[in-house]
Amino acid sequence: MSRLKEQAALLKAVAHPVRLEILDLLTHGETCVQDAQELLDVSQPNLSQHLAILKKAGLADCRIEGPKRCYFLCRPTLVMNLMSLLSMENE
């Protein structure tokens, strides 16, 4: 049952349109917040909040590079498989 809770928590972290978009971005490679913001039409604080949620869920992490944070996927295969599942019209 705690297994189910973990799985549900993971799904909850993904279950948001902006976070899906972030994850999709990250499948194309490491991205810093600034670059993501230009592509995503979200405010900077809100983007930070979403990134924090993904990080907490163990899906993303970041590397510090000067004043920038470069985010990347921790479980790229999982994310990519999930995305491809979602993108199938039927089944």
Partner DNA sequence: CTGTTATATAATAGAATTCGAATATAAAAG
Partner DNA sequence: CTTTTATATTCGAATTCTATTATATAACAG
7 sits near DNA (criterion: CB under 7 A): no
Three-state SS string across 47-75, please? HHHHHHHHHHCCCEEEEEECCEEEEEECC
Contacting positions for a copy of itself (CB under 8 A): 1, 4-5, 7-12, 14-21, 75, 77-78, 81-82, 85-88, 90-91
* Member of 10, 62, 74, 83 binding DNA (CB under 7 A): 62
- Phi then psi dihedrals of residue 42, to 5 deg: -135, 155
Instruction: Pick the stretch among 21-29, 32-40, 77-85 that binds DNA (CB under 7 A).
Output: 32-40
Q: Nearer to a copy of itself by C-beta: 46 or 65?
A: 46
SS3 46: helix
